[in-house]
Structure 1
Amino acid sequence: MSNEPLRLAVIISSVRDGRFGPVVGKWIAERAKGREDLTVDVIDLKDHDLPAALSYSPSPEAAEILGQVSPRLEAADAYIVVTPEYNHSFPASIKQLIDWNYSQWRAKPVGFVSYGGLSGGLRAVEQLRPVFAELHAVTVRDAVSFHMAWEQFNEDGRPKDETGPAGAAKVLLDQLAWWGNALREARAKNPYQA
């Protein structure tokens, strides 16, 4: 078993103007960075204009963009998707990232931090679970969810009441660490075949 910290990619999926995702993404990334068993790479999809159309041979521009993102996904041992809920579902930007990358997700755990109105983004999470299952990824059971998120954070980007979110984040990160270590060891012993 490796004592090397797991490489965790925190993916901020919203790309809309005025989005709240960076506040939530920064918060969970800071929680993860506070652990000795994780190293964190924040991937903000707003910084990567992924092409909308899929093809087996991407254009040179699309290949360049994918060349910036895909290796970071490949290097990760685990993922956290920070997602809002748009119209009872997840943003198109995370689906583009998922669809452009296939093998990178295999036999790795995925956790979720969601935010939104009354549902806190949970409908987006529940729709992402079968998408990741199709890619042979393992979604962890527990998630962090911020209901009426913009009311839950102060001007400094921290939850007004840290107790509940901090506990939920610890559970999520503990599950990701367990699955991440177990799956990394399994991949090292026997490469996963999809």
Structure 2
Amino acid sequence: MSITPKIAIIIGSTRPTRFADKPAAWLKGIVEGRSDASYEFLDLRDYPLPFFDEVASNAWAPSQNEVAVRWQNKLAEFDGYIFITAEYNHAPTGVLKNALDQAYKEWVHKPAAFVGYGSVGAARAIEQLRQIAVELQMAPTRTGVHIQGADFFGAWQQGAALEDMAHLQPGVTAMLDELTWWTNALKTARDADTAAATKTTDEATSTDA
């Protein structure tokens, strides 16, 4: 029996005046209508991470900071991720980069998709996030959602609703479809690796006995 995959939607800005809440609310309305995965929002405001100052990545040594450990434990619950990101000076937000650095094992062999907003839809920030994701052994998907130009300024300054921007919908649907495909594919592969490792351990234990 297949188990519905779990996907985290990570809000990558913590500023009091952030725009991120608008695309988050818009995306929430969309994913609630889908049954191919379960979705949960993770707000970096709820994880006040310090700047990374551990002795090493948790790939090599357990993290000591309580918030970092709580963040890692939460990330481990999910099979894939959507990152909602702004663009600051052609880059993702510092808090999002820091949150990515605060984990490693939890990201490995899982897919990542991106929703960006700003004058160019955070396209440059998302390109950097794709590179970071690859280094973390994630699988970034092809299609992203870019809220840009008149759409962004209309929603930010003029009260326009993202829900009324029908031209954005095909991109969202394609992103979610791709993410679900990769989430299922990689979850199957991870489960197979786990089963093989367990079998090897059991066989070694039986031999030792």
Taking structure 1 as the reference length, the TM-score comes to 0.88
1:11 aligned counterpart, secondary structure: strand
Report the aligned-residue RMSD: 2.1
- AA paired with 1:179? W
The number of residues matched between the two structures is: 187
Task: Give the corresponding residue for 2:170.
Answer: 167
Specify the code of the residue in structure 2 equivalent to 1:34: G
Amino acid across the alignment from 1:112: F
Q: 1:58 to 1:182 in 2, by over 3 A?
A: closer
The alpha-carbon distance between structure 1 residues 94 and 188, as it changes in their structure 2 partners (threshold 3 A), is same
Partner amino acid, structure 1, of 2:13: S
Percent identity, aligned pairs only, is 30
Residue matched to 1:183? 186
Using a 3 Å threshold, how does the CA distance of structure 1 residues 90 and 40 change in structure 2: closer, same or farther? same
Question: Partners in 2 of 1:50 and 1:29 — Cα distance?
Answer: 25
Contact 1:84–1:124 (CA<8 Å) still a contact in 2? Answer: yes
Q: Give secondary structure in 2 for the equivalent of 1:164.
A: helix
More displaced 10-residue stretch of structure 1: 77-86 or 30-39: 30-39
> What is the CA distance between 1:66 and its match in structure 2?
2.3
1 or 2 for the larger relative contact order (CA 8 Å, sep ≥6)? 1
* SS class of match (1:114): strand
Which residue in 2 is equivalent to 1:95? 97
Whichever residue aligns with residue 175 of structure 2, its letter is L
After superposition, the C-alpha distances for 1:98-133 in whole angstroms (9 at most, x for unaligned) are 11100111100000000011x111100001111110
Q: Does the Cα contact within 8 Å between 1:20 and 1:150 map onto a contact in 2?
A: no
1:31 and 1:22 map into 2 onto residues whose CA distance is 14
Matched, 1:74 2:97: no
Aligned to 1:13: 12
Give how far 1:29 is off: 2.6
Q: Which blocks of at least 5 consecutive residues in structure 2 are unaligned?
A: 56-61, 198-209
In the superposition, relative to structure 1, how do residues 136 and 53 fare at CA in structure 2: closer, same or farther (>3 Å)?
closer
Aligned to 1:115: 117
Query: C-alpha separation between the residues in 1 aligned to 2:142 and 2:81?
Result: 14
Say which SS state the counterpart of residue 103 (structure 1) adopts. coil
Q: Is 1:33 aligned to 2:35, yes or no? A: no
Which runs of no fewer than 5 residues in structure 1 stay unpaired?
none
Letter aligned with residue 133 of structure 1: V
- With the length of structure 2 as denominator, give the TM-score of the two structures: 0.82
Quote the Cα distance in structure 1 between the aligned partners of 2:77 and 2:161: 29
> How many angstroms apart in 2 are the aligned matches of 1:168 and 1:6?
21
